[in-house]
Amino acid sequence: MLTLTDQLLLVARAYCAAESVSLSVAGRRAFDESKLLVDLERGHSSPTLKRSDRALWWFSANWPAETAWPADVPRPDPTVEPEAPRRRSRETVPDMAEARVA
């Protein structure tokens, strides 16, 4: 059984081959970060589960029609968009000084 990282890289590589693009381009398209898939391949990155799920969904929704989806990876339903990961703002992080007082 493939790990989520292995599944994501397998799908990303197949997409890159079908579209004749680099992992950097695929990363920018799927994650809006050109270095993420390259760093993931090198073992220097680990996206959250939500980001990974969303990227797999993005690949599924944008998959080239003439290309077979990798058989070892369950294909997400391209019509059901997953929840976008929330970015933490400074306002949502509790002030540690206030937390100690309480």
Range(s) of the domain holding residue 90: 4-101
pLDDT of residue 87: 66
**Predicted pLDDT at 90:** 57
Record the pTM. Answer: 0.79
Domain count, the chain: 1
Coil, helix or strand at residue 66: coil
pLDDT value of position 3: 92
- Please report, rounded to a whole number, the percentage of residues in the chain having pLDDT higher than 70: 82
Q: Which residues contact 61 (CB under 8 A, 6 or more apart)?
A: 78, 81
Instruction: Say whether pLDDT at 84 is over 90.
Output: no
Band of pLDDT at residue 89, cut at 50, 70 and 90? low
